[in-house]
């Protein structure tokens, strides 16, 4: 697993993690230390993030220096030494945490889809409810600037967070602006607060240290989120959603968003999640915007695409009383770095 992670996953974008992961795969002592963690916590992304967290906390200065200098040889030696000396600390972090990588790059997909939901319902204001929110960065979708490869732009052109997205196909995205966002609510089993030093450090630790552009963007995203922190609700989404809906003013459209979150739910929970949306729509219109793997989001058409096809479906479902209208409005790749808009707007 560690060799594959290094040679197949990290090799494309992180020479440091390629070197470290392969070295760990070749060290019997390091592997024994990793095996002291529960099986579900032994993934390379988790263990490397735990090591990185300790380095950022000042507890592993040699590893921090190697990462800062992008010195692969020094990083290998420091990572193995640290893992052998501090295995208990590494495992403790891995057990307590989940890997987090949902920076606001997903906003390039969410923005036009949420705006389309508001248009269809005729809403002048929306309340955002992000399921699987991590630190709630996606809840700032209206506060970032987004530029598409065809020259179109959405969002806030003067925002410190600027994103780009490549469009696939010749259909432009709709350029209408989001209505006023009057509520921002995140739902997660273990939400992270960007104003908490430990949580903010963990978000940094989950990024690979030799990807300076991602690091700089995350810093800008966390700074933006800290100026108006969202409401974060902790718990299972199916249980917490009713409370989340009460946080959206009655004259605003609740828009629930899921971005690659439902794949972590068993099928029964996905269906219960859908039932929660239906229940909330008994007294008001509700919209659900999703970016999920093919066939993952209940009721969202798959366009005849095959599961595990390498792309995801952008879905829009509108709930209004007993009526549910669900449509696939696009496809996207690489967590929103590329997208294809399909809906007639």
Per residue in 100-155, pLDDT (tens digit) is 876 667 999 999 999 999 999 999 999 999 999 899 999 999 999 999 999 999 99
What is the DSSP track for 212-262?
HHHHHHHHHHHHHHHHSPPEEEES-HHHHHHHHHHTS-TTSEEEEEEES-G
Q: Is 248 exposed, middle or buried (0-12, 13-18, 19+ CB in 10 A)?
A: buried
Can you give the pTM of this predicted structure?
0.93
Mean pLDDT estimate for the chain: 95
Distance CA 290, CA 312 (A): 9
Res 102: pLDDT: 64
> How distant, in Å, are the alpha carbons of 58, 140, 142, 189, 203 from that of 198?
12, 21, 27, 17, 9
Position 302 confidence tier, pLDDT thresholds 50, 70, 90: very high
Closest CA to 231 of 250, 207, 255, 248: 248
pLDDT-wise least confident of 57-66, 244-253, 308-317 = 308-317
Indicate the SS3 state at residue 44. helix
What pLDDT sits at residue 206?
95
Cβ pair 203, 135 in contact under 8 A: yes
75-95 pLDDT, tens digit each: 999 999 999 999 999 999 999
CA neighbor of 131 nearest in space, from 296, 294, 311, 341: 296
For residue 273, pLDDT over 90 is answered with yes
Of the pLDDT bands very low, low, confident and very high (cuts 50, 70, 90), residue 324 is: very high
In terms of Cα–Cα distance, which of 331, 337, 296 is closest to 312? 331
């Amino acid at each position: 697993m560690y060799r594959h992670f290094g040679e197949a996953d990290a090799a494309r974008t992180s020479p440091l993690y390629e070197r470290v992961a392969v070295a760990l795969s070749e060290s019997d002592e390091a592997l024994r230390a990793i095996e002291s963690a529960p099986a579900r916590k032994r993934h390379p992304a988790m263990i490397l993030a735990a090591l990185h967290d300790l380095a950022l906390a000042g507890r592993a200065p040699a590893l921090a220096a190697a990462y800062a200098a992008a010195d692969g040889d020094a990083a290998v030696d420091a990572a193995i030494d640290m893992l052998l000396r501090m295995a208990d600390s590494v495992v403790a972090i891995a057990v307590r945490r989940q890997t987090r990588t949902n920076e606001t790059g997903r906003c390039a997909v969410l923005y036009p889809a949420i705006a389309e939901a508001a248009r269809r319902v005729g809403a002048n204001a929306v309340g955002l409810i992000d399921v699987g929110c991590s630190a709630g960065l996606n809840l700032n979708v209206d506060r970032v600037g987004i530029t598409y490869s065809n020259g179109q732009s959405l969002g806030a052109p003067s925002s410190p967070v600027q994103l780009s997205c490549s469009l696939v196909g010749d259909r432009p995205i709709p350029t209408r602006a989001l209505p006023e966002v009057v509520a921002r609510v995140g739902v997660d089993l273990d939400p992270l607060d960007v104003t908490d030093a430990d949580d903010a450090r963990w978000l940094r630790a989950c990024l690979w240290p030799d990807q300076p552009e991602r690091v700089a963007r995350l810093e800008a995203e966390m700074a933006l989120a800290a100026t108006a922190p969202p409401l974060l609700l902790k718990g299972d989404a199916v249980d917490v959603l009713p409370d989340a809906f009460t946080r959206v003013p009655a004259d605003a459209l609740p828009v629930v968003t899921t971005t690659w979150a439902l794949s972590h739910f068993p099928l029964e929970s996905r269906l219960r999640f859908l039932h929660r949306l239906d229940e909330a729509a008994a007294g008001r219109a509700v919209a659900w915007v999703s970016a999920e793997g093919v066939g993952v989001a209940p009721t969202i058409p798959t366009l005849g695409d095959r599961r595990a096809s390498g792309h995801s479906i952008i879905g829009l479902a509108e709930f209004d009383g007993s009526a549910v209208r669900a449509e696939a409005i696009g496809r996207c790749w690489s967590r929103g770095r590329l997208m294809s808009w399909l809906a007639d707007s």
